[in-house]
Structure 1
Amino acid sequence: MLNWITDTISSLGYVGIGLLMFLENLFPPIPSELIMPLAGFTVARGQMQFIPAIAAGVLGTVIGALPWYYAGKILGTERLQQLADKYGKWISISSKDITKADRWFERHGGKAVFVCRLVPGVRTLISLPAGISGMHLVPFLLYSTLGTLLWVGLLTYLGYVLGDNYELVDEYLAPVSKIVVVTLLIAFILWVIRKNMRRYS
C-alpha cells in the first residue's frame, strides 16, 4: 500500500494526491493518515508546495464524498423507512427510528458533517446520512470542505514536521480509527439489546 501511494504521488504530483484522497473516500481502507503526511514530507523535501498539496487533498476528498452523498439521496428517507419496516425487525429498527434520526440530522446535520470529517473511521461514512436526510448540497459541501481542510491541513503539517518519520502519523492514528469503529459498533449493539429488552419487558 505504502509503495503504491508513494509511486502515485511521485509520478502524478498534486493530481496523485487528489486521486488518492478521492479513492480514500470511496474505499476507506486507503488511509488519508498516510497519504497527506507523505505529501507533507514531499513538501519538506522541496518537491511540492504546501498550499497546493493541501488544496489537492481537500478537492479530492470533497469530490470523493459526493458518490456516498448521492447514494444516500437515491436511497432516501422513504425508501429506508420501507426497508426498515420490512427487514428492520432483525435489528430492532423501525420507520419511526428512521424518522427520528432524520429529524436529528435536520437539526445537527451541518455540525455533524463538520465534526465527523475530523474523526478517523467515520469521516467517509457521514456523507451517506447527509444524503439520506436530504441535506442540501451547498451546506454539505461547505461543512465537508471546512472539516476536510482542518483534517488535511493537520496531516500535511505533521508529515512536514516529522520528515522521514511521516509514517508515525498513520501508526498512531490507525488504532484510533479502529477504536472509533469498534465503539460505534458496540454502541449500536447495546442500543439494539436495550430496545429488545424494552419490547419484551
Structure 2
Amino acid sequence: MEHFLTTIPVWLVYILVGVVVMVESFGIPVPGEIVLVTAALMSSKHELAVSPHSVAIAGVLGAVIGDSIGYWVGREYGFKIFDILKRRFPSHFNDDTIAYAEHIFDRYGMFAVFFGRFVALLRIFAGPLSGVLKMHYPRFLIANVAGAICWAGGTTYAVYYLGKAAEKYLSTFSYVALGIAVILAFAAGKFMGQAIDRRVEAYAEQRRADGTHPDVA
C-alpha cells in the first residue's frame, strides 16, 4: 500500500484516503483504516511531501460524509439494504452480525455511533444501521463528527508523531521500529475483532435460547 501511494501525486493520496474511508463508512468493507494509517506513516517521513493535517482532514471528511450517506440509505431502504450487503459481502454480513450490531446501536444509541468508529465491524454498520433504526439525525451527526475527529484525526497524529520520534531517536532502525509498532496496532485491532466475533456468537446463542433466532423461530 505504501509503495502504491508513493507512486501517485500527493493530492491524490488525500483523495484516496477520503474516498476509501468514505466507502467503508457507508457500509462497504474496504480497508479504510489501513489506507489512513499508511498515509499517516508517509506524512512522518521528511523526504515525502504528504501533510498529516491534510491526511487527518481527508479522513475526517470521508468518515463524516460516508456515515451520513449510509444513514440516509438505511433510513430510506430499511433492512433491505442489509439483504443486498449480505448477498454482496457474505463474509462480513450475516444474520448474526446484523442482529448483534442492531442490539448494540438500539441499546447505546449515540455512544455506539461514537465508539463504533474504533471497531471495524461497528464502523461499517454505524451509518446504515442508525438510519434503519431512525436515530434522530442531529444526534447521529454529533456522534458521527465527534467519532470521526477522534478516530481519523487521532490515528493520523498518533502515527505521525510516533514516526517522527522513531526517526529522531532510533536513526537507522527508525522505520523498522515504527513498522513493528504499526503491526502491533493492527494485531490489537485483530484481537478486538476476535472479541467482537465472540460477542456476536454469544448473542446468537442467547437468541437461540430465547427462541428469537431464525434457526429456531
Matched letter for residue 209 of structure 2: R
Tell me the SS of whatever aligns to 1:13: helix
Cα distance 1:31–1:15, how it changes in 2: closer, same or farther (>3 A)? closer
Distance 2:16 2:68 in 1: 19
Give the structure 1 partner of residue 154 of structure 2: 154
Distance 1:7 1:21 in 2: 20
Per-residue CA deviations over 1:129-186 (Å, capped at 9, x if unaligned) read 2101212323212211101111112321232134333542653244135314412321
The question of whether the paired residues in 2 share the 8 Å contact of 1:18 and 1:61 is answered with: yes
Deviation at 1:125? 0.7
The question of whether the paired residues in 1 share the 8 Å contact of 2:17 and 2:32 is answered with: no
Give ranges in structure 1 of 5+ residues lacking alignment.
81-90, 92-96
Deviation at 1:8? 5.9
Matched letter for residue 115 of structure 2: V
Cα distance 1:189–1:24, how it changes in 2: closer, same or farther (>3 A)? same
Give ranges in structure 2 of 5+ residues lacking alignment.
82-94, 164-174
Identity %: 23
Q: TM-score, normalised by structure 2?
A: 0.66
Matched letter for residue 156 of structure 2: T
Matched letter for residue 69 of structure 2: P
Distance 1:111 1:8 in 2: 38
Aligned residues: 178
Give the structure 1 partner of residue 53 of structure 2: 51
Cα distance 1:5–1:76, how it changes in 2: closer, same or farther (>3 A)? same
Identify which of structures 1 and 2 has the higher relative contact order when contacts are C-alpha pairs closer than 8 Å and 6+ apart: 1
The question of whether the paired residues in 1 share the 8 Å contact of 2:40 and 2:156 is answered with: yes
Cα distance 1:76–1:24, how it changes in 2: closer, same or farther (>3 A)? closer
Matched letter for residue 189 of structure 1: A
2:29 maps to 1:28: yes
Tell me the SS of whatever aligns to 2:37: helix
Aligned 1:135-154 pairs, distance under 5 A? 135-154=135-154
Tell me the SS of whatever aligns to 1:28: coil
Give the structure 2 partner of residue 71 of structure 1: 73
Cα distance 1:11–1:132, how it changes in 2: closer, same or farther (>3 A)? same
Matched letter for residue 190 of structure 1: E
Cα distance 1:171–1:129, how it changes in 2: closer, same or farther (>3 A)? closer
Matched letter for residue 176 of structure 1: F
Give the structure 2 partner of residue 186 of structure 1: 201
Cα distance 1:119–1:178, how it changes in 2: closer, same or farther (>3 A)? closer
